[in-house]
Structures are given as C-alpha cells and as structure tokens.
Amino acid sequence: MTKQIHVGGVPIGGGAPVTIQSMTNTPTQDVKATVDQIKKLAAAGCEIVRVAVPDMEAARAVGKIKEDSPIPVVVDIHFDHKLALEAIAAGADKVRINPGNIGRYYVKQVADACRLRGIPIRIGVNGGSLEKPILAKYGRICPEAMVESAFQHIRLLEQYDFTDICVSLKSSNVQTAMRAYQLMHCRSDYPLHIGVTEAGTVRMGTLKSAVGIGGLLALGIGDTIRVSLSADPVEEIYAAREILKAAGARREGPELVSCPTCGRTRIDLIALANQVEERLKTVDKPITVAVMGCAVNGPGEAAAADCGIAGGVGEGLLFQKGEIVKKVPQDRLVDELFELIETL
Ligand code: SF4
C-alpha cells in the first residue's frame, strides 16, 4: 500500500478512495474567472484542483482563489522557486514542481516552506520534458528513463528530509505511461497521481485515458487521477468519474449494464437503455441496474445486477438478482423498474 498524504483535507494514497483532479484553464490572475471555474468543477465532482502559476501575479492570486475555492488548490510551477515560495505563502494546498529543475540550493527553501505549512509536493515527471542527461543515457523517452527522473527528484527532497511526496509519470503514449507507473509502483510506496497527458479531444482523449488510467486502476495502481482533455475541464471530471466506475475503483451511485443486442432482441433496447440511464442520474444508490434485450437470456446474463428489465414482444420481465419478479407490459417496464429501485 502507498503512503498517505493530505492535500487540504483530502487524503491521497494509503487506501483512501481514488480522488479526481482537474486543472483550470482560466488565467490564474483572473481570480473571479478561476474561482467560477473551480466551483463548476467541484459541482461536477472534482475533489482537488490545480492552477498554473506562470508569474508573481498568479502566485499572489492564489490566496484570493483559496478564500472562495470549495476544494483544495494545487499550484503548478515550473523552474522558479520564488513562485513556489510566494504561492505557498498565499495558502496553496500542494505544489507541483520538479525539484531537479530549480537547483539544489533552492530545493531546501521550497521543501522547508512546504514542511512548515504541512503541504505536499508532487513530482510531475513528463516524458516530453525529461532531463538531457537521462535522455542521453537511455537514448529515447522510455518508462525506465521517466522512473529514473522521478527518483532523482525524490532523492533531492529526501536529502532535506522531505517525504510528503506524490509522483506522476505522464506521457501522451498510453503504453509508456502505463509501464512507467507499473515500474514506479514496484519500486516506491509514494502515492501515484496517474494520467495520460495531452490525451486529445473528448472522444479519443477519454478512450486513451480509460485505457491508461482505467487499466492501471484495475491493477490496483493509482491514488489520484487526472484526465487531460482538449475540452472544457468539466468534461475531464465526467470522464474521470466514468473511468473510476468502469475500473471498479470507486463505487458511487448506480451503474447501468445493458446488453449489446443480437438477433434475439425483441424491443428497442438502445432507446430503453438511454431512458434508464437518464432516469438513473437522479438515483444515488450504489446499485447495478441491467437493461437486457430478451427474456430468454437477459435475466440470467444479468444475474449479477441488483435488478433489471428484459424485453419481450409486448411485455417484458422485471427481475431482481437474476430472479424474475413479474411480467410487465412493455410501456410500463421503465416505471416498474424505478418503483423496484425505490424499494432497494
Ligand atoms: S440479452 Fe438477449 S438480446 Fe441481449 S445479447 Fe443476450 S441474448 Fe441477445
């Protein structure tokens, strides 16, 4: 099991539920726009948010953003330790920085400032920005090079007795990212922030993230996730929630299972599944609901579901844990299903 760190009041690692993160794309110095976006992200299910800190004005804005943010705020800093120190003083809940990029002398200052405020540091290794000596050693971007880079940063912090760390090893290549996280998982117990970076637009980016993040989660690897999409960041939260659910990493609210349809299908299953999915949005019970295309195989194939419906000609079946409850006229199927759900 990984060590546990805390970002604001949110635990990461050590068996805590896998958390969802995102990043604002408003100018951080525009406090109102940034806070508005954070509130939308939080309402969608984001639990930790990161803001870019490219200059002093942005670093100073962190304090005001923190005042109105409903969730912990992580500051994303590249190279400049002064920005880190300013953002930490302004109240940041975590710093994402690569210690190896800011010079040893300044690493101690940043580590001391974080320790004093009790906030962690994320070492954010990115395949696209590996240190030149490591790239020269391996000759290319590869998982081993990324992990070596992470350990160089880790050792720098550990030299100053700073171990309040989490690590990310992102790559836009799914296989590279997955292998890097697997290697890191074997060699370290620092919590892992997992993601596939620059994954793309909503459809392809969600698919790449589902494979990369979901695959790792299914193997028990990963403590917090960020889906990176070229889209409104709220889309990242929707995708992250679905990935967590699909990977079985976090169970909240209902899950719909529906059959792919085949030559035995006797109802308009696609419309029925969409209708049930829509109505399930108002249900928060952790149940599995099945919508199946035929009465012959449906209840049996969906025996693991808590309840469900199976279509027939003119009438269908309502079933609970694989057992038929009753026959129902087709136009009453969905209503009867939700009446049953209410009793669960
Ligand atoms: S549940 Fe029935 S209709 Fe659906 S895939 Fe299975 S056999 Fe075909």
| Four-way CATH pick for 255-343: 3.40.50.300, 3.20.20.140, 1.20.120.1200, 3.30.413.10 | 3.30.413.10
Task: Say if CB 19 and CB 225 are below 8 A apart.
Answer: yes
What's the pLDDT at 205?
94
Q: What CATH fold (topology level) applies to the domain 5-246?
A: TIM Barrel (3.20.20)
Q: How far is the CA of 247 from the centre of ligand 1 (A)?
A: 24
Residue of 259, 267, 268 best suited for mutating to test ligand 1, as the one with most atoms within 8 Å of CB = 259
Q: How far is the CA of 299 from the centre of ligand 1 (A)?
A: 10
Start-to-end Cα distance in the chain = 34
Rounded Cα–Cα distance for residues 91 and 277 (Å): 41
Number of H helices, E strands in the chain: 12, 15
The residue among 26, 36, 40 whose CA lies nearest residue 238 is: 40
Please name the helix (run of DSSP H) or strand (run of DSSP E) that holds residue 233, with its range, or none.
helix 233-246
What's the pLDDT at 79?
87
- Low-confidence stretches of the chain (pLDDT < 50) are none
Residue of 267, 297, 309 best suited for mutating to test ligand 1, as the one with most atoms within 8 Å of CB = 297
The residue among 105, 107, 236 whose CA lies nearest residue 165 is: 107
What's the pLDDT at 282?
86
* Domain chopping of the chain, boundaries: 5-246, 255-343
Q: How far is the CA of 301 from the centre of ligand 1 (A)?
A: 8
Task: Say if CB 48 and CB 19 are below 8 A apart.
Answer: yes
Task: Say if CB 188 and CB 154 are below 8 A apart.
Answer: yes
